[in-house]
């Protein structure tokens, strides 16, 4: 997917060299977000500058779209149905090979005013345009239903965020976007992409990476649970024995 997009971007890059198109210089407030014991979510500030050739700012201003995307993972979406008019049971399911665990998009104006549907689909702008790569071959409408279910669930958990019109562009040059990151985000390498849009065309793209990872004690616990499950289990049992016994001893004195 990423290769395909890189290929699609090539003509734009060559074009920008030839016609001296503007260049984006993006940055983020944090290159690395640590999840520690007190982590309840974070806010990532994505900012940067639009460098116009010769420093001349055109009268007709361009727009900015910023996307922050977490690592993709295969997952299965299940749908509950009422069984025999009695209880709700998971019935149908659909698999998706690459659903991003987090996706946020912010733009200086509502997306539909910036690009047409085809461009939005190519660059995966907007949660409706995410390429979730369905693995099972259902009817398109069934697939759409499951995609909507997945998107609805992730949106409710603030894992899929759309903030149209939230980017400010100062003096037509400096832009900034704030994106919320909830406590439940998956860890991994996140990619931010900044798009410069003018007349329905994307004329410049720049990207940056952000690492979100557990650190300190939380990292130690998660790593131990995964790599040393036997030791981890023994420690968990010993801890509970010790706490139980300790409390019994402490209360006997009182």
Partner 1 sequence: MDIYLPIANMSVNALVVILLGGGVGILSGMFGVGGGFLTTPLLILYGIPPTVAAASATTQVTGASVSGVLAHWQRDGVDVRMGILLVIGGMFGSLAGAGVFALLESAGQMDTVIAIMYVALLGSVGGLMARDAWAAISAKKSGQALFARKRRHHPLVANLPMRWRFYASGLYISPLAPLALGFFVGVLTVLLGVGGGFILVPAMIYGLGMATRVVVGTSLFQILFVTAITTMVHALTTQAVDIVLAALLLVGSVVGAQLGTRLAARLPADWLRLGLAGIILGLSLWLALGLGWRPSEIYTVQAL
Q: Please give the Cα distance from 120 to 116 (Å, whole number).
A: 6
- For partner 1, the closer of residues 95 and 128 by Cβ is 95
C-alpha distance across the termini of the chain, in Å: 66
Residues at the contact surface with partner 1, assessed by CB under 8 A: 35-41, 73-80, 82, 86-90, 93, 95, 146, 149-150, 152-154, 183-184, 186, 214, 217-219, 221-222, 225-226, 229-230, 232-237, 239-241, 243-248, 251
The sign of the dihedral angle between the CA atoms of 32, 163, 78, 183 is positive
Cα–Cα separations (whole angstroms), residue 210 to 32, 83, 167 = 6, 45, 19
- For partner 1, the closer of residues 90 and 189 by Cβ is 90
On the 0-12 / 13-18 / 19+ scale of CB atoms within 10 A, 105 is: buried
What is the closest distance, in whole angstroms, from the C-beta atom of residue 120 to partner 1 in the complex? Answer: 24
- For partner 1, the closer of residues 15 and 153 by Cβ is 153
- For partner 1, the closer of residues 138 and 218 by Cβ is 218
Contact at 8 Å (CB) between 104 and 124?
Answer: no
What is the closest distance, in whole angstroms, from the C-beta atom of residue 222 to partner 1 in the complex? Answer: 5
What is the closest distance, in whole angstroms, from the C-beta atom of residue 161 to partner 1 in the complex? Answer: 17
Residue 171 backbone zone (phi > 0: left; psi -120 to 50: alpha; other: beta)? left
What is the closest distance, in whole angstroms, from the C-beta atom of residue 184 to partner 1 in the complex? Answer: 5
- For partner 1, the closer of residues 20 and 243 by Cβ is 243
- For partner 1, the closer of residues 58 and 216 by Cβ is 216
Contact at 8 Å (CB) between 186 and 70?
Answer: yes
What is the closest distance, in whole angstroms, from the C-beta atom of residue 112 to partner 1 in the complex? Answer: 26
Contact at 8 Å (CB) between 155 and 234?
Answer: no
What is the closest distance, in whole angstroms, from the C-beta atom of residue 173 to partner 1 in the complex? Answer: 38
Q: Please give the Cα distance from 166 to 156 (Å, whole number).
A: 19
């Amino acid at each position: 997917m990423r290769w395909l997009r890189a290929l699609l971007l090539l003509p734009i890059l060559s074009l920008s060299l030839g016609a001296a198109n503007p260049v984006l210089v993006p940055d983020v407030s944090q290159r690395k977000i640590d999840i520690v014991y007190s982590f309840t979510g974070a806010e990532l500030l994505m900012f940067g500058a639009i460098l116009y050739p010769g420093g001349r700012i055109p009268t007709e201003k361009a727009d900015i779209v910023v996307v922050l995307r977490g690592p993709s993972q295969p997952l299965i979406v299940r749908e509950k149905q009422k069984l025999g008019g009695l209880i709700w049971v998971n019935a149908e399911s659909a698999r998706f090979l690459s659903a991003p665990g987090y996706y946020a998009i912010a733009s200086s104006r509502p997306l539909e005013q910036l690009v047409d549907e085809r461009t939005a689909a190519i660059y995966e702008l907007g949660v409706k345009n995410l390429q979730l790569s369905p693995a099972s071959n259902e009817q398109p409408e069934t697939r759409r239903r499951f995609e909507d279910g997945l998107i609805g669930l992730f949106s409710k958990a603030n894992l899929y965020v759309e903030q149209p019109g939230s980017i400010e562009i100062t003096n037509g040059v400096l832009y900034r976007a704030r994106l919320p990151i909830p406590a439940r985000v998956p860890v991994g390498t996140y990619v931010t992409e900044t798009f410069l849009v003018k007349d329905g065309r994307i004329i410049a793209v720049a990207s940056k990476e952000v690492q979100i990872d557990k650190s300190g004690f939380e990292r130690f616990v998660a790593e131990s649970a995964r790599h040393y499950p036997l030791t981890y289990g023994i420690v968990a049992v010993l801890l509970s024995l010790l706490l139980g016994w300790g409390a019994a001893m402490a209360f006997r004195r009182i």
